[in-house]
C-alpha cells in the first residue's frame, strides 16, 4: 500500500493524479479461509482489520452482498459519543470513542473525526434528573462529561430556543466535549484499505446463500461466487442478522426495523456541535457541506425495506422546529432509511452463536456507527481467542436467559 501523505499528493499532482493505485484489491474468493466475516460494513471491516493487526489472523475474507459500506454504515447520522449509563456500555463505547481519536493516523486514511462535542438537552425535570444520573455514572466510569447549565447550553449552541415560554424549556444539558462526528463512509473505506493491506480479501457483490454446518460445527458458506470453506464464521450483518441466523439454523433475540434520517438544504454554518433533544425526539448536527443532518426515532414495526414512514419524518421535524426555530423555513433535501436490528434491552450482541465456530456481532439497534472501531476490536479478540474478551463478555446472547440485561433503552438518546 502506498501511503497517503502530503508528499504523495504532490508527487501525484505531477502526473495529473492519474497514478493513484486502487485503495483495495477486488479479489476472487479463495476456496478456504481461516475466518470468513459476512458483511463489509464498518463493523465487519473493523473486525477483519483488528484480526489481522492485533491477532495475526490474516487469512481472512470479508464477504459483502452489495458494495462495501452500503448498508447502515452509510445511512447513519455519524454521531460518536460514549455517555452511556450502564458500566458495560460505557466500557465498550468509550473504548470505541478512544480508538476514533487517532484512527486517521492508524489507518493512514482521513476519517474526518471531529470531536466537536455532543450535547444532550434536558427539557423536563424528569429528564434533567435522569441525565444527571448518567453524568455521575459516566464520570465514575472515567468518561469525561460535564453538566451544562442553560447559559452554557445557549453559548454552545446559540440557535437553541431558550425562551421561558417554550413548550419544552432548556433546563441544562449533558455535555460530552470529546464526542462528535466522523465521516461514515471514510471509516469503512479506511478500514477496508488498511485490512486489504494486511492481506484480508474484501469480496464485494458476493451474497451468502447458505451456511454449511456439519456435526454442529460451521465448515463454510455457500455464496453467489461459489462455496467458501472456513474454520470460523463471523456474522456482522446488521438488519439481516435473523436471516443469516436462519441459514445457520438458530434464532436470534432480534427484530429488524427501519430507522431513517434526513438532511436539509445546505446553509451557512450555524451550529458546531451535535445536539440531541430526547424529549422532543430528534437530534441534529451540521455537516461540513452545510446540511443539517437530522435523525429521529425508529419506525415501530418489523421492516426490511430500507424505507421509513413519512409521518415519522414529520414528527421529528415538527419536534425540532420547537427547539430550533430557525429551521422552520428550511427545505429538506434527502431522506433515507436503513434496517437496524433491535434487541430486547437495546444493547448489542457480541459473542458466540449456538453453532460451534460461528460468532455474531449484531443488535446495535439505532446506535452502531459510534461503536465501529470498538466493536471490531473486541469482536476480533473474541473470534481469535474463541472466547469473548472482557469488553465483549457481558454482551453475550446468553444474557437474555440469565436476566443480565444491559438496559440502554435510550441508546440513541431517543425513545425507540
Residues that bind other proteins (CB under 8 A): 240, 242-243, 246, 251-256, 300-305, 309-311, 341, 343-344, 400-401
> Is residue 132 within 8 Å of 120, Cβ to Cβ?
no
Residues 161 and 36: their CA atoms lie apart, in Å, by: 50
Nearest-approach distance from CB 75 to other proteins, in angstroms: 17
DSSP conformation class of 415: -
Angle between helices 372-385 and 184-197 (to 10 degrees): 30
> Is residue 98 within 8 Å of 110, Cβ to Cβ?
no
Nearest-approach distance from CB 339 to other proteins, in angstroms: 9
When the beta carbons of 173 and 337 are compared against other proteins, the nearer one is 337
Nearest-approach distance from CB 378 to other proteins, in angstroms: 22
DSSP per-residue string spanning 347-386: --EEEE-SSBTEEEEE--TT--GGGHHHHHHHHHHHHHHS
Residues 218 and 230: their CA atoms lie apart, in Å, by: 8
E strand residue ranges, 123-207? 146-148, 172-176, 180-181, 201-203
Burial 18-40 (b: 16+ CB within 10 A, else e): eeeeebbeeeebeeebebbbbbb
Radius of gyration of the chain (CA): 21
When the beta carbons of 161 and 222 are compared against other proteins, the nearer one is 222
Helix (H) or strand (E) holding 220: strand 217-223
When the beta carbons of 168 and 400 are compared against other proteins, the nearer one is 400
Residues 196 and 330: their CA atoms lie apart, in Å, by: 42
When the beta carbons of 32 and 255 are compared against other proteins, the nearer one is 255
Nearest-approach distance from CB 252 to other proteins, in angstroms: 7
Nearest-approach distance from CB 242 to other proteins, in angstroms: 4
When the beta carbons of 284 and 360 are compared against other proteins, the nearer one is 360
Nearest-approach distance from CB 308 to other proteins, in angstroms: 9
Nearest-approach distance from CB 238 to other proteins, in angstroms: 13
Centroid of chain to Cα 244: 20
When the beta carbons of 87 and 255 are compared against other proteins, the nearer one is 255
Q: Work out whether the CA dihedral 396, 401, 402, 407 comes out positive or negative.
A: positive
When the beta carbons of 4 and 250 are compared against other proteins, the nearer one is 250
> Is residue 178 within 8 Å of 97, Cβ to Cβ?
yes
Cell (9 digits) for 409: 433503552
Nearest-approach distance from CB 299 to other proteins, in angstroms: 9
Nearest-approach distance from CB 223 to other proteins, in angstroms: 18
Amino acid at each position: 500500500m502506498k501511503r497517503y501523505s502530503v508528499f504523495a499528493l504532490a508527487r501525484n499532482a505531477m502526473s495529473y493524479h492519474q497514478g493513484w493505485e486502487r485503495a483495495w484489491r477486488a479479489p476472487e474468493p479463495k476456496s478456504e479461509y481461516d475466518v470468513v466475516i459476512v458483511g463489509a460494513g464498518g463493523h465487519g471491516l473493523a473486525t477483519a482489520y483488528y484480526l489481522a493487526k492485533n491477532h495475526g489472523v490474516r487469512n481472512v475474507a470479508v464477504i459483502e452482498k452489495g458494495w462495501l459500506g452500503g448498508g447502515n454504515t452509510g445511512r447513519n447520522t455519524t454521531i460518536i459519543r460514549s455517555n452511556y449509563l450502564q458500566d458495560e456500555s460505557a466500557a465498550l463505547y468509550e473504548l470505541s470513542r478512544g480508538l476514533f481519536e487517532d484512527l486517521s493516523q492508524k489507518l493512514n486514511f482521513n476519517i474526518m473525526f471531529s470531536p466537536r462535542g455532543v450535547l444532550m438537552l434536558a427539557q423536563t425535570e424528569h429528564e434533567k434528573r435522569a441525565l444527571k444520573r448518567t453524568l455521575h455514572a459516566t464520570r465514575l466510569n472515567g468518561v469525561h462529561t460535564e453538566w451544562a447549565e442553560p447559559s452554557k447550553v445557549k453559548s454552545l449552541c446559540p440557535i437553541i430556543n431558550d425562551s421561558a415560554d417554550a413548550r419544552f424549556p432548556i433546563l441544562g444539558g449533558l455535555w460530552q466535549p470529546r464526542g462528535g462526528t466522523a465521516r461514515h463512509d471514510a471509516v469503512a473505506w479506511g478500514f477496508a484499505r488498511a485490512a486489504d493491506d494486511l492481506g484480508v480479501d474484501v469480496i464485494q457483490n458476493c451474497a451468502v446463500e447458505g451456511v454449511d454446518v456439519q456435526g454442529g460445527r460451521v465448515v463454510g458458506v455457500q455464496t453467489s461466487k461459489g462455496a467458501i470453506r472456513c474454520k470460523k464464521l463471523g456474522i456482522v450483518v446488521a438488519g439481516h442478522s435473523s436471516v443469516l441466523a436462519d441459514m445457520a439454523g438458530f434464532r436470534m433475540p432480534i427484530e429488524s426495523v427501519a430507522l431513517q434520517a434526513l438532511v436539509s438544504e445546505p446553509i451557512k454554518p450555524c451550529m458546531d456541535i451535535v445536539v440531541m433533544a430526547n424529549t422532543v425526539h430528534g437530534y441534529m448536527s451540521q455537516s461540513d457541506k452545510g446540511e443539517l443532518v437530522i435523525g429521529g426515532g425508529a419506525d415501530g414495526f418489523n421492516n426490511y425495506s430500507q424505507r421509513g414512514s413519512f409521518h415519522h419524518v414529520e414528527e421529528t421535524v415538527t419536534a425540532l422546529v420547537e427547539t430550533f426555530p430557525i429551521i422552520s423555513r428550511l427545505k429538506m433535501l434527502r431522506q433515507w432509511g436503513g434496517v437496524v436490528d433491535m434487541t430486547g434491552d437495546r444493547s448489542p450482541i457480541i459473542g458466540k452463536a449456538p453453532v460451534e465456530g460461528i460468532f455474531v456481532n449484531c443488535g446495535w439497534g439505532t446506535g452502531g456507527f459510534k461503536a465501529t472501531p470498538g466493536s471490531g476490536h473486541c469482536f476480533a479478540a473474541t473470534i481469535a481467542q474463541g472466547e469473548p474478551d472482557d469488553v465483549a463478555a457481558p454482551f453475550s446472547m446468553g444474557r437474555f436467559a440469565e436476566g443480565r440485561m444491559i438496559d440502554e433503552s435510550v441508546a440513541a438518546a431517543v425513545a425507540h
